[in-house]
Structure 1
Amino acid sequence: MTIAAGSFALTGAEAGEKPRAVLELFTSQGCSSCPPADALMNQLVEDRSLLALTFPVDYWDYLGWKDTFARPEYTQRQRGYAAGRHDRAVYTPQIVVNGREHVVGSNQAAIERTVASHERMDALPVDLDLDIKGDVVVARVGGSVAGVETKATLWLVTYDLRRSVPIARGENKGRTVVYSHVVRQVQAIGMWKGQSMTVELPRHELMPDRDVGMAIMLQPDRDSGLGPILGAAMLTGPSS
């Protein structure tokens, strides 16, 4: 599907289907430029062919308001991408597309162009699947693809579907900001070496209620920083 300029259309993609792109928004409650990007993320998550995640960072906490969702590891993740790209581009609001390119998180046109470009070059070549079978979450990774490195970590991401925060101090004082797909945790659940693999996890520990989503991402291990995402899949809310 191609995103029409000026809008993000809701698609009929089923949970667990291979997304067209992974979008990671690095944002902060203490950043006056971030609310437009946070509002755009509320639209992006409605496109079920995209895996869109919000990573709140902590480096603006000194401005008078401590971000209630931020974690140091999310700041480190953003810096890891900058190291992997060999640039110093660490800012908010920033969206990283498929772990490869960054754009200003409120620039809808730039996001659309980058997603379309990555879709044409098949930037997520490895097939991943995420499903629920009874009380078990089943994550599957396909075999190697020509031209793709074959040593990577399989990451499990859990996130809150929607959170609203009244901000009492700092640059956004007086605002109530709504955040979508706010990451709770990122944890390694397996190592991929180019062969098909399956990982089974307890469902109710990971998705305790209907306000929690889950995704998996495959990403290569590099000493120089974070590499590109090779594949991804997502679920939103537990099945009945």
Structure 2
Amino acid sequence: MKPIKIFTLAASFALSVMILTAFVNRKETSIAKKDVIKPDSKGFAVVELFTSEGCSSCPPADALVARIQKENKDKPVYILAFHVDYWNRLGWKDVFSSADYSKRQNEYAKWLNLQSVYTPQIVVNGQKEFVGSQEGTLRNAITAGLKTGTATTLTLSAQADHNNIRVKYMAADAGKNTSLLLALVQKGAQTSVKKGENSGRTLSHVQIVRSMQKLPLSSGGNASIALPTDFNAQNWEIIGFVQNNENGKILAAAKSGFNATINAHK
């Protein structure tokens, strides 16, 4: 009887091992399938930061978008820092500020039903706004944007000569009541602030919008942008996006350097 008992015990053990192995393999396969995220080339995130060198709450937001820019340099994440001008009256004039950027922020206040504007403020894809230093909210908004696409497409190419930047664009499926916005962006700069809330600090900035044009959208065309005196092809780029004029939603975005054409992401 002993050999029979030993054989029965061995068979039971072998069967248990087979069942356990099958369960583990099935579980691992299930986990692997769950963890695989198919890339969605249609997604994008346009991150607009409204900031000012005269605002003591803004440097953390500037630093945050700098990290995001570095981490997402190979992804369709388009960061634009708009320096508003309404802080200038408090003792320090932000050299990058413009009334046009304050006006744009007020447009978002109307589109998003806000009572007032503030800094630092971030708007993602023209639809979601929040305090610019909220890292978790920003990361979640970017992730959502990268997973959500539209049928609209946009491609850009830019070339600089002695006096102007010439931009060629192609757009499709943008729908009615939309515009093309073209931003000339300086990738990085530093400022030693002498007065105001940030007096004595050296502030670092990324993706500074130096000028922006709003054009009626057609299927394709050309635009001309005046060349700034401090222009450097390696430290500048063009970011364009298609925006709905009624609700502010951004439908497509693209960018171009000045040495090669970079295709759009839907």
Instruction: Name the TM-score class by shorter chain.
Output: 0.7 to 0.9
Contact map agreement 2:44 2:252 (CA 8 A) in 1: no
Which of 31, 47, 57 matches 2:55?
A: 31
Distance 2:183 2:145 in 1: 22
CA displacement at 1:112 relative to structure 2: 1.0
Map 1:1-240 onto structure 2 (within 5 A).
20-46=44-70, 47-48=72-73, 49=75, 50-122=77-149, 124-132=150-158, 137-144=167-174, 149-192=175-218, 197-201=219-223, 205=227, 209-222=233-246, 227-239=248-260
Distance 2:226 2:85 in 1: 30
Distance 2:51 2:151 in 1: 28
Distance 2:245 2:80 in 1: 21
Say if 1:205 and 1:35 are closer, same or farther in 2 by CA, change over 3 A.
closer
CA displacement at 1:218 relative to structure 2: 0.7
**What's the CA shift string for 1:162-206, capped at 9, x where partnerless?**
1110000111011101111110111123424xxxx1223469959
Identity among equivalent pairs (%): 33
Contact map agreement 1:217 1:230 (CA 8 A) in 2: yes
Contact map agreement 1:24 1:52 (CA 8 A) in 2: yes
Distance 2:202 2:187 in 1: 17
TM-score, length basis structure 2: 0.72
Contact map agreement 1:18 1:129 (CA 8 A) in 2: no
Q: Which runs of 5+ in 2 are unaligned?
A: 1-40, 262-266
Q: What is the alpha-carbon root mean square deviation over aligned residues? A: 2.6
**Aligned residue identity for 1:199:** G
CA displacement at 1:132 relative to structure 2: 4.7
Contact map agreement 2:182 2:239 (CA 8 A) in 1: yes
**What's the CA shift string for 1:111-130, capped at 9, x where partnerless?**
011222333343x5411111
Contact map agreement 1:160 1:212 (CA 8 A) in 2: yes
Contact map agreement 2:157 2:260 (CA 8 A) in 1: no
Contact map agreement 2:44 2:148 (CA 8 A) in 1: no
CA displacement at 1:208 relative to structure 2: 6.0
Contact map agreement 1:18 1:128 (CA 8 A) in 2: no
Number of aligned residue pairs: 212
Contact map agreement 1:18 1:232 (CA 8 A) in 2: no
**Aligned residue identity for 2:211:** Q
CA displacement at 1:215 relative to structure 2: 1.1
Say if 1:134 and 1:168 are closer, same or farther in 2 by CA, change over 3 A.
closer
